A and B are shown apart, each in its own frame.
Chain A
């Protein structure tokens, strides 16, 4: 087997294993740490596809910023005492129904879709490089890109507005 392929299988195994551990592990902190591992594995997949920029940005944004905030919140919550609450039978049944429904929907959707035929000899190795990505983003998709950034700005300003203290409220 060629080394790239075996590496791909190893990485996929690790990804799925850590994704399963996110769901299975009891302590929320462990869940978050496994989720970070999952993101790292996904970045490994991006690198295998020669999309280095995407891999780095995935690490910076998800593993470096968003998951730190997740960890932050969960550390403050002190889950140990509340752990029992999540394990009631009603919660389990409800979660199983919701998850099962989503699974059936996804299964039904993907069963009929045509996966585009893929020719490995026509794979352009430079597609994922940052230069070509920049060309595509700022030339062909400039308007959607700018609109998306405006959307982010609105979300950010909205979050600050909602989180701001009212005048006259007590400051500690």
Chain B
């Protein structure tokens, strides 16, 4: 019994891991296609049908390029930089609930790597560690431009983490739980958090853009000022890992946004679908099909999030660095504190009086 549960869990974790990598890989293709569509051109279309093999061609190119380490660089830390970036990017998906439960042989297994009662703090901690990959790599390159790019990335991430944490606090006050699993379970049906937390959602989304170093906040990479930013000295697959980590981060933050604000695997009318499916396929198979449907909905939301990241990148101009810092410290943090106050008033006074009124 223990062993089957373990095997199912292992399969779920491996599938989530593989899907994360696959989605990150095809995000590079999607990015260029979206860019092509927005700029009224075709995008990649040479490798395979509709250019579908383009990510493989890119990976082949990355692997066969010369792997160069500058003579004055700190060799170990130079290698550790991209490793840390990939590690921290992949670690966050462990606590995200990608679906409800799967039933097999009388066991119920959640479609989630680990159900931790501090899940959201774990995600927050891993996100705050993401800085190290960039800083270590940028410093070890022994190049002024890399160092400046790394410092920019790090200060940006630290600044926006504060507002991000404060916007999460409002969610925690409503859901009274730190576990991502129960936060998602509370948004059953169409009862999503975004209806209650529109301001918090906007703050969180802005901070997610800044944490991923994406346009309009992609100042760590700036050709005109910094050559290439923190990965100026990197070549071959080490550079590939840095770029790849960015796409993984994009997918993970979209997944977190959809879990916290868009109900995760919940969708309107899911109870009706559930009863129809259990009536059609029987209790166990129907439950599993409903769960897989929820997981598909989750991935749909997360992929729309990734598309949104790209959409913004190719339509909005970027900020200047002082504007970015002003927005973070003077705009988002006071707004997030205001949001916490409003949420507190809502939870303490408005919600009880509303429920009393409706009764």
A12 at the interface (CB under 8 A from B): no
Which range holds the interface residue count of chain B? 20 to 34
- Complex Cα distance, B117 from A151, in Å, reads 29
Interface of B is mostly: helix
A130 with B151: CB separation less than 8 A: no
Q: Which of A59-67, A91-99, A102-110 contacts B (4 or more CB under 8 A)?
A: A59-67
**Contact status of A130 and B125, CB under 8 A, knowing A68-B135, A68-B154, A68-B158:** no
0 or 1 for each of A43-71: is its CB under 8 Å from B? (1 = yes) = 00000000011011101100111001101
Q: When the two chains form their complex, are residues A130 and B136 in contact, meaning their CB atoms are under 8 A apart? A: no
Contacts of A64 on B, CB cut-off 8 Å?
A: 125, 128-129, 131, 161
Residues of A within 8 A of B154 (CB): 68, 71-72
Please, how many residues of chain A have a CB less than 8 angstroms from a CB on the other chain?
A: 22
Query: Are the CB atoms of A75 and B121 closer together than 8 Å?
Result: no
The reply on A11 being an interface residue by CB < 8 A is no
Chain B nearest CB from A51 CB (Å) reads: 10
B127-167 interface with A by 8 A CB criterion: 128-129, 131-132, 135-136, 139, 147, 150-151, 154-155, 158, 161
A33 at interface by CB-CB < 8 Å? yes
Contact A72 B151 (CB under 8 A): yes
- Report the bound CA distance from A3 to B139 in whole Å: 39
Nearest chain B CB to A130's CB is how many angstroms away? 6
CB–CB A60/B128 < 8 A: yes
Assess A53 versus B158: contact at CB under 8 Å? Given A29-B139, A63-B129, A75-B135. no
Contacts of A72 in B (CB 8 A): 135, 151, 154-155
Pair count A-B, CB < 8 A: 63
The answer to whether B135 touches A60, judged by C-beta atoms less than 8 angstroms apart, is no
Contacts of A148 in B (CB 8 A): none
Answer yes or no: B50 CB below 8 A from chain A CBs.
no
A29-B139, A56-B121, A75-B147 known; A130 and B178 CB under 8 Å?
A: yes
B301 to chain A, nearest CB (A): 26
**Contact indicator A53/B121 (Cβ below 8 Å):** yes
Q: Are A53 and B118 in contact (CB under 8 A)?
A: yes
Nearest neighbor of A64 in chain B, beta-carbon distance: B128
Q: Is B338 an interface residue (CB 8 A)?
A: no
Q: How far is the CB of B250 from chain A (nearest CB, A)?
A: 20
Kindly report which residue of chain B lies nearest to residue A36, judged by CB atoms: B132
Question: In the complex, what residue of chain B is closest to A53 when comparing beta carbons?
Answer: B118
Contact check, B124 vs A60: say whether CB atoms are below 8 A apart.
Answer: yes
List B residues at the A interface (Cβ < 8 Å).
74, 77, 116-118, 121-122, 124-125, 128-129, 131-132, 135-136, 139, 147, 150-151, 154-155, 158, 161, 178
The 3 nearest A-B residue pairs measured at CB: A64-B128, A56-B121, A59-B125
